[in-house]
């Protein structure tokens, strides 16, 4: 055992942001790997809540992680309510005061007696993990999000499951769309990146795929639908990323962000359905797949990736590689600086072969 590894007695794990299928698989893999090294593992519950309130922590043992690999959600809970290290308070004169809770978080961290933290999260949660790291907490990140928009890794866990669920839904819509000669607009998640729409649209053989990276023109979609009609196909499947917007238009937002949070996106498919019905005269229905893309069992691919990430995070701690994130760099999982992951959002490259192949096959991307 090397010097760094010899100094580790206890580690902590947290899961932050929106849940993603595979969280429990990461937790179990990390706990088993840590236990084999003789380390204890504490679960910090509900994001970073357990740092402030130690009733929100739990010891994770071989027994407590038994049989969880295939389960959705996270056994230690999560939180996606913005930064727990900042509180906003209204003063009596109506101003908003910002209170930095970092000192309390660090005090809570010291009281836990842990030597390192595995932070499993997407961009927001890894920003918070980086903040803790800059304040002296030895952190290793694990890239989680169904959106696949984290840089530094080829893919995040959770993405494959979301694409699989969305693809199955699109497959099911095909037969009913065809039976009724209808257009269906299907809204998938992904926030400001089009990965889920692109991959599920391709796998589900959609006729039109709209992603945030390519603002769409209604006329172009209408042309594609008319072209299909002329070829004898009187129905159409349009996959719409929740962050897709018309050229020169706005994002479809259900609720604007409160301090420190994100806008809640939604309504892009319904907005387009109304426009398409008016422009084509065809019966058009919209569907929002929503959180079923995030819930339930991870696919085998996600279970494997999650376990590789969980075990690799423990190896990174043993090697003293703090301030890093484990990342898939085929054929291996390796570590990259946390800053690589959070510096910018990974969006769909428009000159990549997937987009080019989609164009080659005549699928409409809205431009």
Min. distance of Cβ 146 from ligand F6P in angstroms? Answer: 5
Is 147 among the residues known to form the active site? yes
Q: Which of 19, 123, 147, 207 is catalytic?
A: 147
Q: How far is the CB of 254 from ligand F6P (least distance, A)?
A: 9
Nearer to ligand F6P among residue 261 and residue 320 (C-beta): 261
Residue whose CB is less far from ligand F6P, 46 or 191: 191
Shortest distance in whole angstroms from residue 178 CB to ligand F6P: 29
Q: Which residues bind ligand F6P (CB under 6 A)?
A: 18, 80, 122, 145-147, 189-191, 242, 264-265, 294
HEC assignment per residue over the chain: CCHHHHCCCEEEEEECCCCCCCHHHHHHHHHHHHHHCCCEEEEECCCCHHHHCHHHEEEECCCCCCCCCCCCCCCCCCCCCCCCCEEEEECCCCCEEEEECHHHHHHHHHHHCCCEEEEEECHHHHHHHHHHHHCCCCEEEEEECCCCCECCCCCCECHHHHHHHHHHHHHHHHHHHHHHCCEEEEEECCCCCCHHHHHHHHHCCCCEEECCCCCECHHHHHHHHHHHHHCCCCCEEEEEECCCCECCCCCCEEECCCCCCCCEECCHHHHHHHHHHHHHCCCEEEEECHHHHCCCCCCHHHHHHHHHHHHHHHHHHHCCCCCEEEEEECCEEEEEEHHHHHCCECCCCCCCHHHHHHHHCCCECCC
Report, in Å, the least distance between residue 63 CB and ligand F6P. Answer: 31
Q: Would you say 21 or 50 has its CB closer to ligand F6P?
A: 21
Q: How far is the CB of 127 from ligand F6P (least distance, A)?
A: 13
Nearer Cβ to ligand F6P, position 31 or 241? 241
Whose CB is nearest to ligand F6P?
Answer: 189
Which residue, 267 or 320, has its beta carbon nearer to ligand F6P? 267
Active site amino acids: 147
């Amino acid at each position: 055992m090397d010097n760094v590894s010899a100094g580790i007695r206890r580690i902590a794990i947290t899961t932050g942001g929106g849940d993603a299928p595979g969280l429990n698989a990461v937790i179990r893999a990390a706990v088993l790997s840590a236990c084999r090294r003789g380390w204890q593992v504490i679960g910090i519950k509900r994001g970073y809540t357990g740092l402030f309130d130690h009733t929100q922590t739990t010891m994770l043992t071989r027994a407590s992680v038994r049989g969880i690999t295939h389960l959705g959600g996270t056994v230690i809970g999560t939180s996606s309510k913005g930064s727990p290290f900042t509180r906003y308070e209204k003063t009596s004169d109506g101003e908003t005061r910002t209170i930095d809770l970092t000192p309390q978080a660090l005090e809570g961290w010291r009281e836990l007696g842990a030597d390192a933290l595995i932070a499993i999260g997407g961009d927001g949660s890894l920003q918070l993990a980086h903040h803790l790291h800059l304040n002296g907490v030895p952190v290793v990140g694990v890239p989680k999000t169904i959106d696949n928009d984290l840089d530094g890794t080829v893919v995040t866990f959770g993405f494959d499951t979301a694409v699989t669920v969305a693809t199955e839904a699109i497959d099911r819509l095909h037969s009913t769309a065809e039976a009724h000669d209808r257009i269906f607009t299907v809204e998938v998640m992904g926030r400001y990146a089009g990965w889920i729409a692109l991959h599920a649209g391709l796998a589900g053989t959609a006729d039109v795929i709209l992603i945030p990276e390519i603002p769409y023109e209604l006329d172009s979609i209408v042309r594609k639908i008319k072209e299909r009609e002329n070829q004898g196909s009187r129905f159409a499947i349009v996959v719409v990323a929740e962050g897709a917007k018309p050229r020169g238009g706005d994002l479809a937002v259900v609720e604007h962000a409160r301090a420190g949070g994100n806008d809640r996106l939604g309504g892009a498919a319904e907005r387009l359905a109304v426009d398409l019905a008016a422009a084509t005269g065809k019966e058009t229905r919209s569907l929002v797949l929503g959180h079923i893309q995030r819930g339930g069992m991870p696919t085998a691919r996600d279970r494997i990736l999650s376990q590789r990430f969980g075990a690799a995070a423990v190896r990174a701690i043993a090697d003293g590689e703090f301030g890093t994130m484990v990342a898939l760099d085929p054929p291996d999982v390796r570590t990259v600086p946390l800053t690589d992951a959070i510096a910018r959002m990974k969006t769909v490259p428009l000159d990549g072969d997937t987009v080019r192949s989609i164009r080659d096959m005549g699928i409409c991307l809205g431009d």
